[in-house]
Amino acid sequence: MDDTLIQRLFDAARAAREQAHAPYSKFKVGAALLDEQGRIHVGCNVENAAYPQGACAEGGAISAMVLAGGRSLQAVLVLGAGDALCTPCGGCRQKLREFGADSLPVLVADASGLRARFTLGELLPASFGPDHLKARPA
Protein backbone atom coordinates (compact mmCIF):
# COMPACT_ATOMS: atom_id res chain seq x y z
CA MET A 1 0.00 0.00 0.00
CA ASP A 2 1.51 3.32 -1.00
CA ASP A 3 1.98 6.27 1.30
CA THR A 4 -0.61 8.40 -0.49
CA LEU A 5 -3.27 5.81 0.12
CA ILE A 6 -2.32 5.45 3.77
CA GLN A 7 -2.48 9.23 4.12
CA ARG A 8 -5.95 9.29 2.55
CA LEU A 9 -7.17 6.61 4.94
CA PHE A 10 -5.58 8.44 7.86
CA ASP A 11 -7.16 11.78 6.93
CA ALA A 12 -10.55 10.14 6.44
CA ALA A 13 -10.42 8.31 9.79
CA ARG A 14 -9.25 11.40 11.62
CA ALA A 15 -12.11 13.47 10.20
CA ALA A 16 -14.60 10.69 10.98
CA ARG A 17 -13.37 10.54 14.58
CA GLU A 18 -14.29 14.21 14.97
CA GLN A 19 -17.92 13.19 14.46
CA ALA A 20 -17.90 10.48 17.13
CA HIS A 21 -20.69 10.52 19.70
CA ALA A 22 -18.86 9.31 22.80
CA PRO A 23 -20.25 11.28 25.76
CA TYR A 24 -19.95 8.30 28.14
CA SER A 25 -16.51 6.84 27.50
CA LYS A 26 -15.08 10.05 26.03
CA PHE A 27 -13.14 7.66 23.82
CA LYS A 28 -13.63 8.80 20.24
CA VAL A 29 -12.77 6.42 17.40
CA GLY A 30 -12.72 6.86 13.64
CA ALA A 31 -12.39 4.11 11.06
CA ALA A 32 -11.66 4.24 7.33
CA LEU A 33 -12.03 1.30 4.95
CA LEU A 34 -10.73 0.88 1.42
CA ASP A 35 -12.99 -1.20 -0.81
CA GLU A 36 -12.36 -3.15 -4.02
CA GLN A 37 -13.22 -0.13 -6.15
CA GLY A 38 -10.65 2.04 -4.42
CA ARG A 39 -13.28 3.94 -2.50
CA ILE A 40 -12.94 4.95 1.12
CA HIS A 41 -15.78 4.54 3.60
CA VAL A 42 -15.75 5.93 7.11
CA GLY A 43 -17.42 5.44 10.45
CA CYS A 44 -17.25 6.75 14.00
CA ASN A 45 -18.40 5.27 17.28
CA VAL A 46 -21.91 6.17 18.35
CA GLU A 47 -22.62 5.57 22.02
CA ASN A 48 -26.02 5.35 23.66
CA ALA A 49 -27.45 6.13 27.09
CA ALA A 50 -28.45 2.46 27.12
CA TYR A 51 -24.78 1.49 27.02
CA PRO A 52 -24.92 -1.88 25.21
CA GLN A 53 -26.65 -0.21 22.28
CA GLY A 54 -23.53 1.77 21.39
CA ALA A 55 -21.82 1.04 18.09
CA CYS A 56 -18.15 0.89 17.16
CA ALA A 57 -16.57 2.97 14.42
CA GLU A 58 -15.66 -0.06 12.33
CA GLY A 59 -19.24 -1.30 12.22
CA GLY A 60 -20.47 2.05 10.99
CA ALA A 61 -17.84 2.11 8.26
CA ILE A 62 -18.75 -1.42 7.18
CA SER A 63 -22.41 -0.43 6.92
CA ALA A 64 -21.45 2.57 4.78
CA MET A 65 -19.37 0.35 2.51
CA VAL A 66 -22.11 -2.23 2.07
CA LEU A 67 -24.69 0.46 1.40
CA ALA A 68 -22.43 1.85 -1.35
CA GLY A 69 -22.08 -1.60 -2.91
CA GLY A 70 -18.61 -2.47 -1.63
CA ARG A 71 -18.08 -6.10 -0.66
CA SER A 72 -14.32 -6.62 -0.38
CA LEU A 73 -12.05 -4.89 2.09
CA GLN A 74 -8.58 -3.97 0.87
CA ALA A 75 -7.35 -2.02 3.89
CA VAL A 76 -8.59 -0.72 7.24
CA LEU A 77 -7.33 2.12 9.38
CA VAL A 78 -8.60 2.65 12.95
CA LEU A 79 -7.77 5.85 14.76
CA GLY A 80 -8.16 6.46 18.48
CA ALA A 81 -6.27 8.05 21.33
CA GLY A 82 -4.38 6.99 24.42
CA ASP A 83 -1.22 5.11 25.26
CA ALA A 84 -2.57 1.72 24.29
CA LEU A 85 -3.02 0.94 20.60
CA CYS A 86 -6.60 1.40 19.43
CA THR A 87 -6.89 -2.04 17.86
CA PRO A 88 -10.33 -3.22 16.73
CA CYS A 89 -12.35 -4.98 19.43
CA GLY A 90 -13.10 -8.66 19.09
CA GLY A 91 -16.55 -8.15 17.64
CA CYS A 92 -15.22 -5.73 15.04
CA ARG A 93 -12.50 -8.19 14.03
CA GLN A 94 -15.22 -10.69 13.21
CA LYS A 95 -17.23 -8.05 11.32
CA LEU A 96 -14.13 -7.20 9.27
CA ARG A 97 -13.64 -10.92 8.59
CA GLU A 98 -16.92 -11.03 6.72
CA PHE A 99 -15.43 -8.82 4.00
CA GLY A 100 -11.68 -9.23 4.46
CA ALA A 101 -9.05 -11.91 3.92
CA ASP A 102 -6.46 -12.99 6.48
CA SER A 103 -4.00 -10.77 4.60
CA LEU A 104 -6.15 -7.64 5.05
CA PRO A 105 -3.93 -4.81 6.35
CA VAL A 106 -5.29 -3.30 9.58
CA LEU A 107 -3.50 -0.07 10.39
CA VAL A 108 -3.75 1.52 13.83
CA ALA A 109 -3.21 5.22 14.36
CA ASP A 110 -3.70 8.10 16.70
CA ALA A 111 -4.23 11.72 15.69
CA SER A 112 -0.50 12.28 15.31
CA GLY A 113 0.16 9.39 12.95
CA LEU A 114 0.37 5.71 12.20
CA ARG A 115 1.37 3.57 15.19
CA ALA A 116 1.14 -0.07 14.13
CA ARG A 117 0.27 -2.35 11.28
CA PHE A 118 -1.28 -5.81 11.54
CA THR A 119 -3.03 -8.23 9.25
CA LEU A 120 -6.53 -9.41 10.06
CA GLY A 121 -5.12 -12.93 10.33
CA GLU A 122 -2.82 -11.77 13.10
CA LEU A 123 -5.67 -10.12 14.98
CA LEU A 124 -8.15 -12.95 14.44
CA PRO A 125 -6.28 -16.22 13.88
CA ALA A 126 -8.01 -19.43 12.81
CA SER A 127 -11.14 -17.41 12.18
CA PHE A 128 -14.59 -18.50 11.09
CA GLY A 129 -15.68 -16.84 7.87
CA PRO A 130 -18.03 -17.01 4.91
CA ASP A 131 -16.13 -19.92 3.34
CA HIS A 132 -17.08 -22.13 6.24
CA LEU A 133 -20.68 -22.01 5.11
CA LYS A 134 -19.81 -23.16 1.58
CA ALA A 135 -19.44 -26.82 0.63
CA ARG A 136 -20.91 -28.03 3.89
CA PRO A 137 -22.51 -31.46 4.10
CA ALA A 138 -26.24 -31.56 3.35
Residue 54 binding ligand THU, by CB under 6 A = yes
135 by Cβ neighbours in 10 Å (0-12 / 13-18 / 19+) ranks as exposed
Tell me if residue 58 is catalytic. yes
Q: Name the minimum Å distance from CB 31 to ligand THU.
A: 7
Give the nearer residue to ligand THU in terms of CB position, either 35 or 47.
47
Phi and psi for 118 in degrees, rounded to 5? -125, 170
- Angle between helix axes 57-67 and 3-18 (nearest 10 degrees) is 110
Site for ligand THU, residues 57 to 116, rule: CB under 6 A: 57-58, 88-89, 92
Residue 48 binding ligand THU, by CB under 6 A = no
For residues 93 and 62, is the Cβ–Cβ distance under 8 A? no
Q: Which of 18, 47, 58, 98 is catalytic?
A: 58
Q: Of all helices (H) and strands (E), which one includes residue 114?
A: strand 113-119
What is the contact surface with ligand THU in residues (CB under 6 A)? Answer: 22, 25, 27, 29, 45, 47, 54, 56-58, 88-89, 92
Active site residues: 58
